[in-house]
Homo-oligomer: A and B are copies of this chain.
């Protein structure tokens, strides 16, 4: 029933024109109070629901925002997504969430879905395999505001919203140094993604500047399984690490599995420091000490930037959000 109530129907019942009904429902000042009331009442009674498609066809404003992300779950994005969702709800936008799953073809297809649904703007976090971002840039050319977040392309001329990757990595390194750790194993993610490219050098530089005698091993893991395998390997060596740094939750999971297997005590036998949005660190005992890379704050910032773009402030900008140390008991 609510599906069929239209302005026309209301206007016929009330024997007034369609435009009067339209105006009454929008609380237009021209319309008399009496008419307004009649219309609003009837609309409520008939459960009138404006036809979003007609509105968009007419106004060219879908009030849908697209969100393209490698994966919805487990790691960083869930808090980001939740905060964007909340903002959308507050501001009467519909959020269209699309997972690309590390697959560039699906990513392209997701961009098409955004176009097809004529989204008002797009939030995008690129997959580790994304080299060619021309399909994304075309959105921006079509005047669809585009905001990259977290894993962003190495391209200057676009909107980006990132956490302070370098600063966070440095904080982690400084913490480890300050605790006088002597043999540090640090795991980073895919070398070709922006966050690794920012975190890794900052981490190394912090150690160099500290002028410490600590040994620093750097390795990479692209999945939790790989982090697990490699951790086992390192912890079975003669000169085994006293500290492991995990660039991401994914890595943390693998490292912790290996530590469980070897029955090491944290932090007595091995110290752990991670970069995380803070959900998984609480799943372990002792809770993991981490540098918070807040998806929540990042989401709010991205949304605010989107609103700015939509209201005309189009100059590409890169925004950075700070992070902070959250102490668990793992170091």
Contacts and interface: CB of A to CB of B under 8 A. Distances in A.
Contacts of A144: 3
Given A53-B62, A260-B284, A285-B257, A115 B2 contact: yes
A73 interface: yes
A283 interface: yes
A215 interface: no
A212 interface: no
Interface string A75-116: 001100110010001000010111101000010010001011
Interface in A293-320: none
A319 to B, nearest CB: 25
B81 A72 contact: yes
Interface in A228-276: 253, 256-258, 260-261, 263, 265
Interface residues of A, number: 55
Given A94-B117, A260-B260, A109 B89 contact: yes
B253 A142 contact: no
A57 interface: yes
Contact of A53 (B118, B261, B279): B118
B113 A85 contact: no
A283 to B, nearest CB: 5
A41 interface: no
A82 B101 contact: yes
Interface in A133-162: 138, 141-144
A113 B101 contact: no
A53 B109 CA distance: 19
A49 B117 CA distance: 10
A99 B117 contact: no
A31 to B, nearest CB: 24
A141 to B, nearest CB: 8
Nearest to A96: B96
Contacts of A89: 106, 109
B224 A283 contact: yes
A143 B94 contact: no
A227 B85 CA distance: 29
Contacts of A117: 52, 64, 94
A11 to B, nearest CB: 18
Contact of A57 (B51, B78, B263): B51
A85 B109 contact: no
A97 B64 CA distance: 12
A78 B73 contact: yes
Given A2-B115, A260-B285, 7 more contacts: A51-B57, A72-B78, A73-B78, A85-B99, A94-B113, A224-B283, A257-B285
Interface of A: 1-3, 49-54, 56-57, 62, 64, 71-74, 77-78, 81-82, 85, 89, 94, 96-99, 101, 106, 109, 113, 115-118, 138, 141-144, 224, 253, 256-258, 260-261, 263, 265, 279, 283-286
Q: Which 3 A-B pairs have the closest CB atoms?
A: A73-B78, A261-B285, A73-B73
9 contacts: A51-B57, A52-B117, A53-B56, A72-B72, A73-B74, A82-B99, A89-B106, A96-B96, A260-B284
